[in-house]
Structure 1
Amino acid sequence: MLHQLGILYANKGEVDQAIALYNQSLEINERIGNVQGIAATLHQLAIIYTNKGEVDQAIALFNQSLEIDERIGNVQGIAGTLHELRILYANKGEVDQAIALFNQSLEIFERIGYIKSQADALHSLANIYAKKGEVEKALALYNQSLEINDRTDNVQGKAATLYCLGHIYAKKGEIKEAIALFNQSLEIDERIGNVQGIAGTLHELRILYANKGEVDQAIALFNQSLEIDERIGNVQGIAGTLHELRILYANKGEVDQAIALFNQSLEIDERIGNVQGIAGTLHELRILYANKGEVDQAIALYNLSLEISQRIGAVRTQTMTLRRLGDLAQQQGEYTKAISYLQPASEILQRLQSPHAESVSASLDRIIRNS
């Protein structure tokens, strides 16, 4: 009961209460010699310490649990604990230790016939080798995982592995192969209704098509992604997609379309209170207006961005905006106004010991001499 209560409190996020209950359960299990109960409770305690970010404490508890499970031959417990430990070591950057634990897990899964778990472990191990840059090793492991998923008809696992393979081929510059793999993954995700998988794969495909210069195909994929995000109410996803879509239109020279998308994105960021998103969008918008020659509109947006960056303490954005406002004022012959912008920009850059401090200071001195 104490153990089960601990799980309930842990799920509620009441961590201290959960730890107290687990420790009570642990004390009773030790007193009555229930070693399987001790191992299970140590495992749960380790998960809590993992979530708290106390990694060394978590590893110590997992190892205590592992030692008991190995002693009593609890193969499922061993496999579960090795799974948690290998993730911790991978996150700590101790990759060789993580790989050793993955291989231990694989040996256990093969021995007890846990085929799906074996495929998952191969997939995770491939991820580690991919991050290490050992591409051929990663490819071999992904293909082993794919073969098992094909054999066991694990379509979700297959889609995930095809997606990762697509990533690797994209990085290798084998774009045609990458697109084929992403499309296979996409077809499965659409068939099983895995909306997050669809969105992620569309994201990768649109980047590949944009980089290939096939902008219209990239835009079509962005719009597909946008439709999904709107359907599932993923507001942040919508804002992100609009951001990338507007850049494509801007690069195509379709400035009015880009501005319309910027304004849509701005409306979302204002609604959800994403101040950094607002600042970034205003930055892009003011550049577009400046390039269109609509200087007054650009200046209005620069001033709005300046107010936001000052409010949230984004010093570098503030400095960049002051500098740009100073340049615009100088171009219009408004030297006093230019000085009022460049003076604080120069002071901030000097305080930050920025390499740009000298050039802004020189511009300021030039304006003062000529005004």
Structure 2
Amino acid sequence: MNNHGQVENMSALSSMPTETGLGEKVKKVFYISNPRQLMRYYYTATPLKYFVSKITESAEESLTLFDNSLQLKSDVYESLCDYKNFKTCMEEILQNYVSQFGKASIHSNIALSFSKLGTACKKIGDHKKAISYHKQSLQMNRRIYGENTAHPAIAASLNNLGIAWGDLGDHRKAISYYEQSLQIDWRIHGENTAHPGIASSLNNLGSTWGSLGDDKKAVTYFEQSLQMTWSIYGENNAHPDIAMTLANLGLTWTYLGDHRKAVSYHEQSLQMYRRIYGETTAHPHIAMSLNNLGITWMGPGDYKKAVSYHEQSLQMRRRIYGDNTAHPDIAGSFGNLGTTWRKLGDHKKAVSYHEQSLQMMRSIFGENTAHPDIAMSLTNLGNVWGCLDNHKKAVTHHEQSLQMLFTIYGKNTPHPDIAKSLGNLGTAWGDLGDHKKAVNYHEQTLGMMRGICGENTAHPYIITSLQNVYVAWRNLGDYGKAVIYYIELEKMKKTV
């Protein structure tokens, strides 16, 4: 490859029969179909590469011609997205370190093993274990380098804990860890320095503020991160960090209602990922981009295009994780397909997809576990049963979702998911003819959305809430109150 005799890129990831129409911008890829062959290659290539790099440093460096260690295997499994085998290797590596150094030992290799096990658990959807491992990594790094020391390993542990808490739905806790990580990176590298760690923290803060409903703050963080990654890697270079930030900007502009801008960012992200991994490679990042485009095309109402993207994403995720594997990404694809088919009017198909999603989420997180993804599946089923005119079933699912969200975030916590759940209950009770309950729930939603987005902010969530309150009062027959909300609604629409 270095001598340009190998024309294609090489990849050991699965290939997909997908056409992108990107022409010469996408590099050809030669796929290695047997991971065992690749592993055997690395047994020789890795020690040889290490030896060559050390020749100039020491004439007495001994040559190892073969390395089939657990460390090498774990690195290869991680690069192949084979996270179950990656986790198995790391568990054995950790046990070896504990046997070597002692159970109570403090060592950087043990801290790194905890961190890698946390990453492996995240990838297979076990977020509670991920938190446990990252906490152990943080504690050990602080004992090694000092509790108040600004060290990259401590910053990385804090960042990983932020990701893990975000995966569990505790976004406030996630922000706290990201901000601590960012402060350490600034102390190490300087506040005005373009550094990958700083860019990562900015990107993660953007994602988390978006999850809390503050999309404008999210855009600000993402744009800072994008400018920084461009300055590090080059504006015209394809790099995963740039592609990820483009994807995050696409999602945020979707929530802000600018679908053209959102599609543009997602298409740039997808094109970049395919340049990196190969046009027809099955990779989690490419599957995510296809999923994001499916979500975005729902905004302008092109549901057939959305279904196409979600089906491509689901097919790729099954290729990556296995057809019969319970994984959050696969469950997410089921949920998105259910929502899209509901929009297309095929409610029976929608129920089927949402029930598969709910069943898979419960098998991953636990039947009786309160988790945001399970709450979302319950909400989606409530919406579909409402479309099928089974409003009692809709109310039941929405109430289960709301109680779960109260358990996760707290009953008195202003949170977008809680506000939306209250709004869904308002709609369901209105459909059942109980307009007093409908008014009560919709007004709670409006109050919470104003607390989250700002009292006088012209935010899509507030506009939707005003619309629902206006309709609820009108259905109750109180036209005086209905007119008050209608006037406020029209004024806000004009400011958007």
The TM-score with structure 1 as length reference comes to 0.55
Indicate the residue corresponding to 1:207 in structure 2: 339
> 2:246 aligned to 129, 133, 141, which one?
129
> Where does residue 292 of structure 2 map in the other structure?
167
Equivalent-residue separation in structure 2 for 1:194 and 1:248 (angstroms):
23
Aligned residue pairs: how many? 284
Distance in 1 (CA, whole Å) between partners of 2:274 and 2:291 is 12
Trace 1:345-356 onto structure 2 (pairs within 5 A).
356=488
Question: Residue 142 in 1 paired to residue 268 in 2?
Answer: no
Distance change >3 Å, CA 18–CA 4, structure 1 → 2? same
Q: Is the 8 A contact 1:126 1:142 kept in 2?
A: yes
Higher mean Cα deviation, 207-216 or 126-135? 126-135
Choose from 33, 38, 44 the match for 2:153.
44
Match of 1:238 among 369, 374, 382: 374
Counterpart secondary structure, 2:239? helix
Q: Which one of the candidate residues 351, 365, 387 is aligned to 1:251?
A: 387
Structure 2 residue runs without a partner (length 5+)? 1-104, 112-134, 160-176, 207-220, 251-263, 456-461, 492-496
For 1:237, the aligned partner's letter is: D
- Aligned residues of 1:9 and 1:18 also touching (Cα < 8 A): no
Corresponding residue number in structure 2 for 1:181: 312
Counterpart for residue 111 of structure 1: none
| Residues 358 and 374, structure 2, Cα contact 8 Å, conserved in 1 | yes
* 8 A Cα contact 2:273 2:285, kept in partner: no
Q: Quick check: 1:89–1:97 contact (8 Å CA) kept in 2?
A: no
1:99 — aligned with what? 230
In the superposition, the TM-score normalised over structure 2's length comes to: 0.43
Residue 213 of structure 1 aligns to a residue whose secondary structure is coil
| Alignment match, 1:75 | none
Deviation at 1:227, TM superposition (A): 0.6
Partner Cα separation in structure 2 for residue 309 and residue 219 of structure 1: 29
Kept in 2, the 8 Å contact 1:246–1:261? The answer is yes
Higher helix proportion: 1
In structure 2, C-alpha distance between the alignment counterparts of 1:45 and 1:85, rounded to whole Å: 14
Structure 2 residue aligned with 1:216: 348
Determine the C-alpha separation between the residues in 2 that align with 1:2 and 1:230: 37
User: Cα distance, 1:87 vs. partner?
Assistant: 1.7
Q: Are 1:62 and 2:189 an aligned pair?
A: yes
1:299 aligns with 2:408: no
1:246-269 per-residue CA deviation (whole Å, 9 max, x = no partner) reads 122223333233233234435545
Match of 2:200 in 1: 87
Cα 1:179/1:19, change in 2 over 3 Å: same
Partner residue, 1:197: 329
Structure 1 residue 224 displacement after superposition? 0.6
The equivalent residue for 1:29 is none
Return the alpha-carbon distance in structure 2 between the equivalents of residues 21 and 290 of structure 1: 55
TM-superposed CA distance for 1:225, in Å, is: 0.8
CA contact 1:162–1:182 (8 Å) conserved in 2? yes
Provide the C-alpha distance between the structure 2 equivalents of 1:217 and 1:62, rounded to a whole number of angstroms.
Answer: 53
SS in 2 for 1:208: helix
**Highest relative contact order (Cα 8 Å, sep 6+), 1 or 2?**
2
1:66-103 per-residue CA deviation (whole Å, 9 max, x = no partner) reads: 9xxxxxxxxxxxxxx95424424655432232123245
Q: Per the alignment, do residues 211 and 300 of structure 1 end up closer, same or farther by CA in structure 2, a change over 3 Å counting?
A: closer
Counterpart AA for 2:239: L
Query: Partners in 1 of 2:308 and 2:489 — Cα distance?
Result: 48
* Alignment partners' CA distance in 2, 1:278 and 1:100: 39
Once the two structures are overlaid, the 10-residue window that deviates more, 220-229 or 140-149, is 140-149
1:10 offset after TM fit, Å? Answer: 7.1
- How many Å separate the matches in 1 of 2:431 and 2:267? 47
Other structure's SS at 2:353 match? helix
Cα 1:159–1:299, aligned 2, differ >3 Å: closer, same or farther? same
Deviations 1:273-292 (A, max 9, x none): 54567776555445444444
Name the CA shift for 1:129/1:265 in 2 (closer, same or farther; >3 Å). Answer: closer
**CA shift at 1:3, angstroms?**
8.5
Letter in 2 for 1:248: V
Deviation at 1:55, TM superposition (A): 3.6
Kept in 2, the 8 Å contact 1:166–1:177? The answer is no
* Bigger CA radius of gyration: 1
Alpha carbons 1:45, 1:58 under 8 Å: kept:
no
Judged with a 3 Å threshold, the aligned counterparts in structure 2 of structure 1 residues 97 and 146 are, in CA distance, closer, same or farther, namely: same
Unaligned runs of 5+ in 1: 24-40, 67-80, 107-120, 332-337, 360-371
> Which residue, 229, 232, 246 being the options, matches 2:361?
229
Q: Which moved more, 1:218-227 or 1:196-205?
A: 196-205
The code of the aligned residue for 1:198 comes to I
Would you say the 8 A contact 1:142–1:165 is kept in 2?
A: no
1:327 is displaced (CA, Å) by: 7.8
Residues 86 and 223 from structure 1, CA distance in 2 versus in 1: closer, same or farther, beyond 3 angstroms?
Answer: same
In 1, the alpha carbon distance for the partners of 2:266 and 2:426 equals: 43
Aligned partner of 1:11 in structure 2 is 138
Which amino acid in the other structure matches residue 312 of structure 2? L
**Cα distance 1:221–1:123, how it changes in 2: closer, same or farther (>3 A)?**
farther
Residue 221 of structure 1, CA deviation: 0.9
